[in-house]
Amino acid sequence: MAGRTRPDVCGPAVPEAPYPVYLDGLVEHGFGRGGKKLNTPTANLPLSSQHAVAESTRLAETGIYYGFAQLDVPNGESIYPPVDAKVYPMVMSFGYNPHFANKDKTIEVHVMHGYAADFYGKGMRAIVLGYIRPELKYDSLEALIADIEKDKQVGIASLERPAYTKYIQDPFFRQS
Ligand code: RBF
Ligand code: MG
């Protein structure tokens, strides 16, 4: 699908059912290719808890989504240093990474903040607010990367609308 035109904004002016979808959990280790290979590190949420499974089931299809995310600062279990706990826009891959033919479904959140550190063991909360596109298999890694970069632009533009930005204040996020 390289070279095809894509819309700059996805989803209606006001989020509709099933959104918002609330996901949270402790960040687990992923496949280690998001950051270095794709310039898009992702924090993976476990699909092991019943709550996570139930919430993710509300997303009718696998694919690429947008929303907001927050990393948890007070986590006594983590060996990693605290990171800031502001709410940032995110794009999320939910599915099987067909380009890499994963066997298990994953929830991978890319927080659009340029975080330097890994988040393993940290709590993360994410509110999913819209759908961008299905997951695809590409002719080249460059084509996948180009689509991911477009996803980031689409996610930010979609979230800049007032009915979406208001979710930054949602009580699901820990407000300081
Ligand atoms: N993986 C795919 O196999 N096909 C995709 O179309 C795809 N799109 C993605 C879009 C975004 C915004 C993100 C964050 C990830 C996407 N991925 C996709 C997942 C990506 O392959 C994965 O994060 C890395 O391989 C690390 O597991
Ligand atoms: Mg990851």
For residue 5, tell me if it sits in a domain.
no
Secondary structure of 125-146 in HEC code, one letter for each residue: EEEEEEEEECCCCCCCHHHHHH
Answering whether pTM is above 0.85, one says yes
pLDDT of residue 78: 54
For residue 6, being part of any structural domain is answered with: no
Q: For the chain, 176 residues long, give each residue's pLDDT as a single digit of tens.
A: 555 789 999 999 999 999 999 999 999 988 888 888 999 999 999 988 778 888 889 998 999 999 999 987 554 555 555 556 789 999 999 999 999 999 999 999 999 998 766 788 888 999 999 999 999 999 999 999 999 999 999 999 999 999 999 999 999 997 65
Residue 4 lies in a domain: no
Give the distance (Å) from ligand 2 centre to CA of residue 115.
13
- pLDDT value of position 81: 54
The set of catalytic residues is 108
Structural domain of 27:
21-169
Which residues does ligand 1 sit against, CB inside 6 Å? 30-31, 33-34, 38, 40, 42, 64, 91, 93, 97-100, 108, 110, 135-136, 144, 147-148, 151
As a three-state string, the secondary structure of 94-131 is: EECCCCCCCCCCEEEEEECCCCCCCCCCCEEEEEEEEE
Residue 2 placed within a domain: no
Single out the residue of 64, 46, 66 nearest to residue 119, CA to CA.
46
- Domain presence at residue 161: yes
Which residue among 42, 93, 158 has the greatest number of ligand 1 atoms within 8 angstroms of its CB, and so is best to mutate? 93
Residue 89, helix vs strand vs coil: strand
CATH code: domain of residue 145: 2.40.30.30
Query: Letter for the amino acid at 27?
Result: V
Q: Whose CA is nearest to atom 1 of ligand 1?
A: 97
- 8 DSSP 8-state letter: S
51: which DSSP letter? H
Distance CA 152, CA 141 (A): 17
Does residue 59 fall inside a structural domain?
A: yes
Domain assignment present for 143: yes
Amino acid 48: pLDDT? 81
Q: Identify which of 148, 151, 156 to mutate to test ligand 1's pocket (most ligand atoms within 8 A of the CB).
A: 148
Residue 110 Cα: closest atom of ligand 1: 14
**What pLDDT is recorded for position 100?**
96
In a domain, 9, yes or no: no
How close is the Cα of 156 to the center of ligand 2, in Å?
Answer: 20
Instruction: Please calculate the CA angle 131-53-113 and round it to the nearest 5 degrees.
Output: 50
Tally of domains within the chain:
1
Distance CA 89, CA 12 (A): 17
